[in-house]
Each structure stands twice: as C-alpha cells, then as structure tokens.
C-alpha cells in the first residue's frame, strides 16, 4: 500500500501553486486597497523550495512544511487571507464530493486540506469567529478536527461558545467536527488538558448529538465518551445510566449501540457501575475449574484452556465472560490484558463448560518473555481462578538440528 505521506506529493504542490497564483491575481486590487506590500507570486520558485526538502519528510512534516510556505505568500490581513483560501476550495458542492475526490483545476479538497488547515490554526487566533467559521466550512472537504484545537487551548470558553452552535448545522461534517474536534485525547492530535481534567463543558455538545441521524456523527460521540472514560469512568457510567433511561422503541436500539461503544473500555475493564447500566449485575456463580490443557507451552504455540462454571442463582442471569492473560514483562512484573470471550444468559443453577484457544505466536505489537505467566477469567467485572503457567522460549531451527 502506498505510504500516506505520498498523498502530499509534488503533483499536489503544483495544483496548490496553480490555485495560489489564480487567487492572488484575482485579489490583487483588494490587496492594493488594503495597502499591503505583497510581492508577485512566483509559482515556480514556490514549487522548487518545497521540492528541495519534501522527499525526506514524513506526512505531518510535509503538511507543516507546505503550510509554512503557503503562509509566507498570503497577505497578513485575515479577511483577505481567508478570501484567498476560500477561493482555493473545490467548486463542487460538498454533497457531491466523494472520499476519493482529488484536488484539480476546479479547486482543492481531500489531502490538500492538511496544508491549509494549519495556516488557519497557527495564524488565525486573533479572530476566533472568522477563523473557526472558515474551518467549519473547510471540514466538509477534509475534517479539520486537528485545526480547531489550538483555539480551544487558547480560550476554551470563547471557542466552545462558537462550536456549540455547530451541533445544529445542516452539514453532518460540521456536526461531527463539534464532537471529534473537542475530544480530549484525540489520536494523533494535541491533547486538551483542561477538558481532560474537566470534561463537563463538552457534555452539552455530546448530548445534542447523541441521536444524530448520521451514524458518522454518533460514532464520534461514542469515541469522545470513551476518551472521557479513561479519566472519569464514573462520570461516563452515570451518563450511560442517564442516556439509557426511559427510551422509546424507536430510539432504544440506536442509543444502546452508541452507549455500548462509548463504554467499551469500561465494559472490558469490568467497571461494575457501567455494567449495571446494561443490566449486568454482580454475578452469582461458582468457578468449578480453570485448567490449561497444552503444556509445556512455548512462544509460538497455541494454549488451550477450559472453564467450568456453575450458576448459584435461582433465576436466569446475564453474564459477560472475558479472560485475562497476565503477561510477564522484561522487568519480571506481570501486565494484564483483557480479551473478550462470551456474553450469555446463564439459567438457574446451570453448569456450563467452555474451551478456548489463545495464541502466543509472535506478533509485531507484543513481545513475549519466557517465564511464569498467568490466566484468569473476568465475570461481570469480578476476577476468578488465577492460574499460573510457564511460557518457554521458542525453539529455533538451529536448536532442532
């Protein structure tokens, strides 16, 4: 697969230069009226400067470098600057733009927005309303979730007062931006420390969008709540209880899906208050046995284990069964990782037996260390049956000969 950095190629830079030339000429009279000293734009020199360094840069570095070069040739007056940027945007209506739409002679869209967004984010803090309105309009061409964050950090109250109104925007890209751009721990983006400490200012935004007609927007709300859950689990559990209360049949399925996705980390952790929101109460069970079946176990092998479980309730009960592998780390300590397993209704006094296979094959995201590991099961948030086992070193081809 082609590296993402190659999306910001010299072919794209050439198209950017074409639209810069076109818009700067178009606004030349206005620039003179504003008494701005703007030298004539040399598109060839612009492209040459970028080409000399682009190849050795990664994606975000390329975006920043091209943005810096664009910034140098734009007028300093924000009103004029933003007229030029708006003029560079693609001429097709937002609704007609597809994900695969390419920047061309009709304007910029898609990956090119990564080079325009930082120009606004880094040089537009002197006028929140003008700058955020431009980013709001640009987001339909390529999400500007990274670019609104400097405004939130600079003045959270002022930024959120403008962003709140986006929840009612007819464009679903803008509604999603209200949630996605304010996520406290948005991946690959600068964090929002004040919202990490106190997420309450954004709860009205999420509440306004929780039943949005677009799945794309609701998914962002769920991911935002999952971010908050990492620092405020009880708050998200309270929200889960509130949002799942007194729902009509038309709303129930959609809202349950959102809240379940929002609480996925807490559910996996066995957060008791969160599980209760879904009717999952502390279990009444007896663990009869948790046994490992394939020993000795070497790195690269599959481990088989068996669970025998008996209900101690006179009524049917919902149970969520996960298993936990306690991996040995390089320093000798153990690190627990939870793996999803089964959701079921356990009938009164029922006894069940399950087997499971877990792979210790080498993967790029985890390094295994020989020594004593352990396995346990987590049932409705409670851990049972901690059982140790030894993981031996992988046998190499040379050791077999």
Around 23, how many Cα atoms within 13 Å sit in the side-chain half-sphere? 25
* Count of helix runs (H) and strand runs (E) in the chain: 18, 8
List pLDDT tens digits, range 268-281: 888 999 999 998 99
Mean pLDDT of 191-219: 97
Given a cut of 90, is residue 3 above it in pLDDT?
Answer: no
Q: Specify the DSSP class assigned to residue 368.
A: -
List pLDDT tens digits, range 12-34: 999 999 999 999 988 876 666 65
Highest mean pLDDT among 14-18, 97-101, 246-250: 14-18
DSSP character string of 239-257:
HHHHHTSS--HHHHHHHHH
CA distance 13 to 115: 10
The residue count for the chain:
401
Q: Which residues contact 25 (CB under 8 A, 6 or more apart)?
A: none
CA distance 329 to 336: 10
Strand pairing partners for 357? 304
Q: What domains can be seen in the chain, in order of their start residue?
A: 4-277 (1.25.40.290), 285-400 (2.60.40.10)
* Alpha-helical regions (H) of 55-126: 59-73, 78-88, 113-123
User: What pLDDT sits at residue 400?
Assistant: 43
User: What pLDDT sits at residue 251?
Assistant: 86
User: What pLDDT sits at residue 97?
Assistant: 53
Given a cut of 50, is residue 173 above it in pLDDT?
Answer: yes
Given a cut of 60, is residue 59 above it in pLDDT?
Answer: yes
% of the chain surpassing 90 pLDDT: 83
CA distance 141 to 9: 18
User: What pLDDT sits at residue 366?
Assistant: 85
pTM here is: 0.84
List pLDDT tens digits, range 115-166: 999 999 999 999 999 999 999 999 999 999 999 999 999 999 999 999 999 9
* Cα 126 off chain centre by: 29
User: What pLDDT sits at residue 268?
Assistant: 87
Q: Specify the DSSP class assigned to residue 381.
A: T
Mean pLDDT of 30-55: 80
List pLDDT tens digits, range 358-373: 999 988 888 899 999 9
Q: Specify the DSSP class assigned to residue 313.
A: -
List pLDDT tens digits, range 331-340: 999 999 999 9
Asked if 91 and 107 count as a contact pair (C-beta separation under 8 A), the reply is yes
């Amino acid at each position: 697969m082609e590296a993402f950095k190659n999306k910001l190629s010299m072919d794209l830079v050439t198209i950017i230069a074409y639209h810069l030339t076109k818009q700067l000429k178009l606004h030349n009279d206005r620039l003179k009226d504003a008494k701005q000293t703007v030298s004539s734009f040399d598109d060839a020199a612009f492209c040459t400067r970028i080409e000399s360094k682009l190849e050795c840069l990664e994606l975000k570095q390329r975006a920043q470098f091209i943005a810096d070069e664009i910034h140098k040739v734009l007028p300093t007056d924000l009103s004029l600057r933003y007229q030029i940027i708006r003029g560079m945007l693609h001429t097709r209506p937002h609704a007609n733009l597809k994900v695969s739409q390419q920047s061309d002679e009709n304007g910029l869209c898609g990956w090119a927005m990564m080079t325009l967004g930082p120009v606004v984010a880094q040089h537009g803090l002197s006028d929140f309303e003008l700058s955020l309105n431009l980013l709001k309009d640009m987001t339909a061409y390529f999400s500007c979730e990274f670019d609104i964050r400097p405004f939130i950090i600079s003045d959270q109250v002022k930024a959120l007062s403008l962003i709140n109104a986006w929840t009612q925007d007819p464009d679903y890209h803008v509604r999603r931006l209200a949630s996605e751009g304010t996520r406290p721990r948005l991946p690959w983006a600068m964090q929002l420390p004040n919202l990490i400490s106190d997420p309450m200012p954004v709860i009205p935004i999420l509440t306004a969008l929780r039943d949005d007609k677009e799945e794309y927007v609701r998914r962002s709300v769920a991911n935002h709540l999952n971010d908050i859950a990492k620092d405020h689990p009880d708050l998200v559990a309270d929200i889960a209880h509130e949002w799942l209360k007194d729902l009509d049949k038309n709303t129930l399925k959609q809202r349950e899906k959102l809240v379940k996705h929002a609480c996925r980390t807490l559910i996996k952790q066995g957060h008791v208050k969160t599980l209760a929101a879904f009717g999952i109460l502390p279990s009444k069970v007896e663990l009869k046995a948790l046994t490992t079946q394939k020993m000795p176990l070497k790195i690269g092998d599959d481990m088989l284990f068996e669970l025998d479980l008996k209900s101690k309730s006179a009524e049917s009960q919902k149970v969520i069964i996960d298993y936990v592998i306690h991996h040995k780390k390089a320093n000798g300590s153990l690190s627990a990782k939870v793996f999803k397993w089964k959701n079921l209704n356990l009938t009164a006094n029922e006894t069940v037996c399950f087997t499971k296979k877990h792979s210790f094959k080498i993967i790029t995201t985890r390094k295994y260390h020989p020594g004593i590991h352990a396995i346990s099961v987590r049932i409705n948030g409670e851990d049972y049956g901690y059982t140790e086992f030894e993981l031996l070193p992988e046998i190499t081809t040379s050791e077999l000969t």
